[in-house]
Each structure stands twice: as C-alpha cells, then as structure tokens.
Amino acid sequence: MSENLQGQVAIVVGASSGMGQATALALVAAGVRVMVAGRRAENLKRLVEQHPGTIQCCPTDVKSRAQVDRLVATTLAAWQQIDLLVYATGTNLPQRSLTQLSIGGWDELLATNLTGAFHCTQAVLPAMRQRGSGLIVYLSTGAVQRADASGVAYQASKHGLTGLAHGTRVEEREHGIRTSVIFPGLCDTEILQKRPVPTPRDVLDQALQPEDVAAAVLFIAQLPQRAVVPEMQLLPSQL
C-alpha cells in the first residue's frame, strides 16, 4: 500500500522551474506542505500566491551554507518537521568541453550540483534524526549511466551526487533516513537552453516532461518506510 503523505513537510530545492517546480506541485496535490527554494525569488513567490498555506518559499543559493541553514530553520519554524528533501537544482554551461571549460566554470558546476547537495543533506539530518525517519531524493542525469556530451564538470558533479546519496543512506539508515537518486534522460527543461547547439524541436517532442520526473519522486515518497529505491533510471521511451 502507498503511504499517505497528508501532513508531511518537504523542502524542494530548485523549485523555481522545471522538475523541481513540477515536483513541488505534485507533492502539494498529495497533501504535503512544501517549502520551495531556489535563486529566483519571483518564481517562488508565484507558487506561494497560487497555493497559500500549503507552499511557503525561502529564496536560497545552495552554494552558501548560511543560506541553506536559514532554509532549514525557516521550514522548522513554519511546520516543526522535515520529512522529505528533494534536491532538484542543477546547472550547466555552454562552454563545457575540456578545451573550453574554465576553472571558474568547473568550480561553479561542482558548487551548485554537488556541494549544494551536501549542504542541504547535512543541514536536514538533525530534524530527520529527531523524527526517526526521512527521505532525501536527488535528481541526477541519465548521463551517469551513459556518458554523453553534457561536459566533464556536469558529469563529474552528477557522479558525485550518487556517492553522496549512497554514502548517506548507509550512514543514516539506522536513524530511519532513506535516500534515492533518480537519473532522468532528456527532459524538456530550461537547462537545455544552455546547450551549445539548440535541441531540435522534434527531439524535444519525444523528451520527458518535468511532470514525469515529479511522478517518479511521488512514487518513491509514497513507499512505506520499510522500502527504499536506491536508484531509478527514467528515460524517454522513444529516444
């Protein structure tokens, strides 16, 4: 049987667009109170206006540990618990090949895609440990299973996310904390606009939609405490 999520509290990082925003809305529809986080405050505030009471926002740059700590404190002040963390934020660069990638670009991708996930993971652990349960879902990329031209910094950061997830699960399972990594294939989101060459429309028409990834997160979140999905690959069926 699926677990009833009514009354649970989630933090969705990267909720200003794409997979994160779709996930936040899916969780709200399932009865979850959601703190949405990201760097684009205006997008987050629109979500709050559309779902007053069930969505609150805390603009956050995950590269800053102080801002991540504020995010967690704001969530606890509002709802006194944290049951779920979804790390859906991520970035890439057009200048991604080894011959183009700068040291600054490498640092930016690692800081956002991996170090930010570490900050969020470590920051929510005390609240989850106190409740004796918790779920952390990381949205990665299908490029982890099948290398592509998304760039070495992007792929390295997403491979690191897998290590963070599995290591956290092993360390924290005695406290009832579970982790899952979802590896979506091509998904029609804003990050594709950072590709050096635009993706053809006929390819995008066959890509995943953010709502498909949100449905996967919801499935994992609704599993009973005794079950965990360490990894899930989610690919477009026609690509």
- 205 within a domain of the structure (yes/no): yes
Amino acid at 147: A
- Let me know if residue 217 belongs to a domain: yes
* Residue 85 in domain: yes
User: How many Å apart are CA 37 and CA 57, to the nearest integer?
Assistant: 6
131 found inside a domain: yes
Give me the number of domains the chain comprises: 1
3-state DSSP call for residue 9? strand
Number of neighbours of residue 234 by Cβ within 10 angstroms:
16
In a domain, 207, yes or no: yes
Q: How far apart are the first and last CA of the chain?
A: 32
Domain boundaries, position 159 = 9-234
Write the CATH number for 32: 3.40.50.720
Assigned domain for 110 exists: yes
Encode the chain (239 residues) as per-residue pLDDT tens digits: 467 999 999 999 999 999 999 999 999 999 999 999 999 999 999 999 999 999 999 999 999 999 999 999 999 999 999 999 999 999 998 899 999 999 999 999 999 999 999 999 999 999 999 999 999 999 999 989 888 888 999 999 999 999 999 999 999 999 999 999 999 999 988 777 777 777 788 888 899 999 999 999 999 999 999 999 999 999 999 88
pTM across the whole model: 0.95
